[in-house]
Structure 1
Amino acid sequence: MSKVKYYYDSETLSYRKIETKRGRKVGVMVLFVAAVVLCSFILVTIMFNTALETPKEKMLKRELAQMQLQYKLLNKKMTQAQAVLANLEERDNNIYRLYFEANPIPEEQRKAGFGGVNRYEALYNYENADLLVSTTRDLEKLQKRLIVHSKSLDEIAKLAEDKEKFLASIPAIQPVNNEDLTRMASGYGFRSDPFTKARKMHWGMDFTAPRGTPVYASGDGVVIRSDNTASGFGKHIRIDHGYGYVSLYAHLSRYNVRKGEKVKRGDLIGFVGSTGRSQAPHLHYEIHKNGDKINPINFYYGNLSPQEFEELLKNAAKQNQSLD
């Protein structure tokens, strides 16, 4: 039950009941409710702001700012790495692969992107989605280019190994040292036969040297013959160098290797003699390529100076008599 209030009326000298108007009462209530709502909003705002500024939240803000900075630095480093890689790719295509006669890797293959429109969909849920997506995309492209380049270098290394093996196998040195030679008696081409005096094809080069002079393998390979059963060659050695090359050393006095033995360029394989169809101690030397007999004069770049090769070339061209 509401409390009744009275006031003293001095005119009538009596107490009269206070009558409250209905409109005034409603206004007071509305004003009170508005004040309560406003105070509640201010209180909630203060509490919310206070909650965001807790030490933990401040630490997380600092970590987020640091992460954004690190991502920007990472993007800068990736840009620098891409520039270095581009230089390596250019050298790979225009120097290494060109030297080893390998096809260049097309630009679109090196820098091909990744398929899938939703590849980075999960990253778009984060606040810094654009930064995360661009960094991830650049990193993956860089990784793919590195993989392509790494495979290219593996191929180049294999080609270099094969090239090194090929260069070591080609018969590329004179089989008798210059200081041991008496003279270069006869070259490749038509020469006078020492026995019949008729002109016939001489398929190799004759190096005159004293009996017992060392004879060396002109390239890496495997001895496929070391015998005296070939007509006219007497004691002779044949070395298979691979890649279609075979070298032949004839009229030896004795052997220093056997059939099936592996030899390296410069290994001692035998000694000069005059066995078989020979007029005097000398080494008859031939080179075969895929079964064809070719001029050995083009295979002495390994141990002759330009002046020595020029002298050898002049002597080999003389139309003289062979020694076998």
Structure 2
Amino acid sequence: MDTLLVPPDPTLQRERARYVCKEQWDGGTFLTYARRQGRMRTVPERLRQYTVPRKNDPGSNLNEDDEFTEHIFPTPQPEQEAFLQTWLFFGLLAEFFGLNENDAGGRLVDAKTAETEIAALYEDYVEEVDNRNGGVTKYLTGARMLQAKDAPVLIVTRLRLAGPAIEQRIQYLHRCLSFSCFLLNAAIQTEFDPAIKTSIAALGELLSTGFATASTLKRVPSARVSFSFAWADRYLEEGGPLERYMLTHGWCSSEVEKIRSVNQGLGTRHYLSHMAKGKGGLHGPQRDHSFCSKEGCVAFQIDAATYRPSHVQQGCLG
């Protein structure tokens, strides 16, 4: 995802998340999308406090006892990827731009503006790339969010349309992010494209960090909430493909474990995991880490009795 930074000489190509949506975001209330789609089976019980529908809301008659059955009958991977990309990527963008209905059935902008701008999201945040078969492949892109001031300025401008209710609006956006983070980490019970998952998490972290920064700079009220979420929870999993790649490219298992325990941000973990290791020079000499463990490195132990700095020569005072 292009909202995540990489070092100047990355060992891995930046992942690109395929655009897999089967339908356009409907502009309804963000938290009740699964109810409108008849897919409450994908929402764990502990998250359903977020999804209480309005009266007369489509899906409000859905059986409240509809069970979370994903762990027993997982939704097929393509269906789940499309559903969550529509909801947690485009739905979240629409929410922060003030385009979705609120709990009272209104919007911060008129319905026509909302419809037009939701359609524009699919032009601004989806790009087409020529593929080897002579066709095009669609990918998500967050470049517009990073390369122009329009997006953050628009988010703040729409936020201020809430007027005296601005703190309640911020608290609602906080609930949307909290719900999205928990759902992304808890509700996926089947194979899922890691790039698609990372792209959703990257957007969530970007919005969370943006709000935290704006609050610190007094651009928006703090609203007594903290925009700190575990977007990196499943990134660089122990025993996962990314860790295996790092271990075969010069990383020590103790270094990987340290990244997981010390660096909780997705952007930081992503950047570090793409760094080159074991090339000598600034990256340090190449060592054999096959006997190391996550508790400690044995390859870089120094024998004080025989150690001699490589720069030592007669007359050196260093």
- In the superposition, the TM-score normalised over structure 2's length comes to 0.18
- In the superposition, the TM-score normalised over structure 1's length comes to 0.18
Give the structure with the higher percent strand: 1
Greater CA radius of gyration, 1 or 2? 1
